[in-house]
């Protein structure tokens, strides 16, 4: 889901085996990860503007010069952090959608996983920071949204179309819109309080379950085949 929520599961920063030599400048994946990890922590803690490159070098344990060999400038570094995010959540969501269980259950599990992730502390912080730099890095924010947040609904969309084909859902005019509707409905009343910091902690699992249950009920009430 790539909402800056989880560290990348990049190939784990192992140095290219076999060749005894030192890696090329700016090409040592271990060091690169080291920098990204440090920068990730700093950016998360302070936000983009308040994070200084000095802070980052300190946290990452590299020198300024090295930093600038690996990343041209602060924006590039930040963008790299955003882009390396390939959250494990996607895999989980896919698994849920592929299980052959009652529609209501699948939707419930999907919505729960989706909501839990997007409202987690790290995901929320990531979203906030990206929103904060949107004036300077609009492309980045857009990409972040498309490859992150929006991926869940895309997956769900395919699933819903299959459900329609199987007759479990009424025919849908605009499945992508419906799909997003479901996602937002699961987070309804929770997303923005979290984003604006009114809700300091992620909601409890019970709270999320309840919200999602309500969403599923509403959703199936509206679009379910046998419903209403």
Which positions touch a copy of itself (CB under 8 A)? 45-47, 49-50, 128-136, 138, 141-142, 144-146, 149-150, 153, 176-178, 180-181, 183-185, 187-189, 191-193, 195-198, 211, 214-215, 217-219, 221-222, 227-228
Q: Cβ(6)–Cβ(148) under 8 Å? A: no
Closer to DNA by Cβ: residue 52 or 146: 52
Cβ 83 to DNA, closest distance in Å?
A: 17
**10-69 residues near DNA, rule: CB under 7 A:** 20-26, 28, 31, 50-55, 62-66, 68-69
Do 13 and 30 touch, CB atoms closer than 8 A?
Answer: yes
29's contact among a copy of itself, DNA, none, with CB below 5 to 8 A by partner kind, is: none
User: Between 70 and 219, whose beta carbon lies closer to DNA?
Assistant: 70
Residue count of the chain: 228
47 close to 67: Cβ distance less than 8 angstroms = no
Burial of 218 (0-12, 13-18, 19+ CB in 10 A): middle
Closest approach, Cβ 100 to DNA, in A, equals 50
Cα(19)–Cα(23) distance, rounded to whole angstroms? 9
Nearer to DNA, 30 or 205 (CB): 30
Shortest gap between Cβ of 34 and a copy of itself (angstroms)? 22
The torsion region of residue 154 among left (phi > 0), alpha (psi -120 to 50) and beta comes to alpha
| Secondary-structure percent of the chain, ordered helix, strand, coil, rounded to 5 | 65, 0, 35
Virtual torsion, Cα 220, 225, 226, 228, nearest 10 deg? 50
Q: Tell me the HSE value of 63 on the side-chain side, using a 13 A CA sphere.
A: 3
Nearer to DNA among residue 30 and residue 177 (C-beta)? 30
Residue 49 DSSP class? T
**CB of 34: closest distance to DNA in angstroms?**
9
Judged by beta carbon, residue 33 or residue 77, the one nearer a copy of itself is 77
Rounded Cα gap, residues 137 and 140, in angstroms: 5
Least distance to DNA, CB of residue 28, Å: 5
Is residue 226 close enough to count as binding DNA by CB under 7 A?
no
131's contact among a copy of itself, DNA, none, with CB below 5 to 8 A by partner kind, is a copy of itself
Taking the least distance from each CB to DNA, the nearer of 65 and 226 is 65
Min. distance of Cβ 26 from DNA in angstroms? 6
């Amino acid at each position: 889901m790539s909402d800056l929520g989880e560290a990348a599961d990049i190939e784990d920063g192992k140095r290219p085996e076999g060749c005894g030599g030192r890696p090329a400048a700016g090409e040592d994946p271990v060091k690169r990860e080291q920098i990204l990890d440090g920068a990730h922590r700093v950016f998360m803690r302070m936000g983009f503007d308040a994070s200084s490159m000095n802070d980052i070098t300190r946290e990452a344990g590299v020198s300024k010069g090295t930093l600038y060999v690996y990343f041209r400038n602060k924006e590039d570094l930040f963008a790299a952090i955003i882009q390396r995010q390939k959250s494990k959540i996607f895999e989980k969501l896919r698994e849920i959608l592929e299980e052959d269980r009652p529609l209501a259950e699948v939707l419930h599990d999907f919505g729960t996983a989706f909501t839990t992730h997007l409202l987690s502390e790290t995901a929320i912080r990531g979203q906030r920071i990206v929103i904060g730099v949107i004036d300077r890095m609009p492309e980045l924010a857009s990409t972040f949204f498309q490859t992150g947040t929006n991926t869940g609904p895309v997956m769900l969309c395919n699933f819903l179309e299959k459900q329609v084909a199987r007759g479990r859902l009424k025919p849908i005019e605009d499945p992508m819109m419906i799909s997003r509707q479901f996602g937002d409905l699961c987070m309804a009343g929770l997303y923005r309080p979290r984003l604006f910091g009114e809700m300091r902690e992620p909601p409890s699992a019970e709270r999320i379950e309840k919200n999602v249950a309500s969403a599923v009920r509403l959703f199936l009430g509206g679009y379910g085949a046998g419903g209403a």
